[in-house]
Structure 1
């Protein structure tokens, strides 16, 4: 297993790459751009606070925790805060359970999760322990259960089926008509159901899984141009736009050798058989 060490000899941010719950645990300020999400996420300040404004709002709010629905547009000023972000599992009821505990603002954005300081402390311990992929995912599952106050239940079985199909065939343009037929719905019925439960249009959410496939391929050593093609993006510009919109930072920054981050992946390159041995890379 090859490891690439960044020029900065400080401790790295930790990134657990997953097409279920993707987890970022920062150590220094991350300057976030405007977001146009394709997957719901829980943002937690490990230190400091963020200011945020939904697309239809005029006023800024401050918060230490923020629940962002898939498909939303939001501006964030992190004011020097150190951030953690968990991109939630669309096949489960993560978002629906968490939002019941939080305060609502415009465009379905939620903030001020009860116990957010304890959650931040637990995420700091997770980051500093830097466990393997499986243990990290188990610990994150437990933390989300504690925050939601109940077991993280599955969502609608038809949506779960479509999400699973998108995860494993992201590079393919399987039609909405075919996916709808697989779950016994009309195209319009699936579009409405998917938007209701996931928050983002089906085709946009598929781009999220393409992006995860691209990251996994790149970390496995596949050249960028080949990874772009294999993961289903049109070209480098399409990839860059999606990366910036979904994560709030430029792709060139995220994968720069000057960016101190360790990536842990529990998968072989996209499209191949899953493997139990994690890939650990330090940029």
Structure 2
């Protein structure tokens, strides 16, 4: 009993949203989709985000209020590609009379198949990732462009009367993503180095789209423990390539990244997979674009000679 109370307390404020009559109510599974849905929906939409800040989308579970809200909503946006393993059950559990339309917003992105070999150490975990696809699509501005186009189309389908508003707000958002994409392309093209070492394999799409190679300490699931052999290989790589920086992400412990860094004389830097905002980032007014630009700054630092 005590445990449940503690767990409930530890989760902090979850989806604070309320259904608003007369607007398109959209439920999103986690932060980037929430930000994009708000940008496209504008005054015509009411967007409710399920995942609280600081929680890994891989291992979250919905509550009854989330089921109630989603049942009453018009749209449900989830990333897909295996990110939210709880979605199929969740959708089955919605009220019978629900009219909500659910959309996998990563549809149309050429998915990255993960290396099977990397994954065999978590066989006991009920295979969180069907087919071992990399689900971290949004981390590349190029993929994000496909996602926001899918969302725009879904909004117009749900509410054709406001097509003009959705289209113009989408075009504004798309322009921002194109600018970001341009910055990533031109800056990273100039960099002499192309190899990055990261704590969690979340940067596959970014690496693919901008000509980098990612070496991850851990696999796709951020809580998998790496094997000693993997750490040894990485350590050798870091030394041989003369890699100066090892990346870790804020929501996940940096213990391994720091261990590897201290063994190889490299330093640690943050690379943020933009899965959610911390309280601090919220207060600062950070968003997808500012966090991605911070990422670019750190990548440039790491990829210099």
Give me the TM-score of the superposition, normalised by structure 1. Answer: 0.25
Task: Work out which of the two has the higher radius of gyration on C-alpha atoms and give 1 or 2.
Answer: 2
Which is strand-richer, 1 or 2? 1
Which is helix-richer, 1 or 2? 2
Greater relative contact order structure (CA < 8 Å, 6+ sep): 1
Give me the TM-score of the superposition, normalised by structure 2. Answer: 0.24
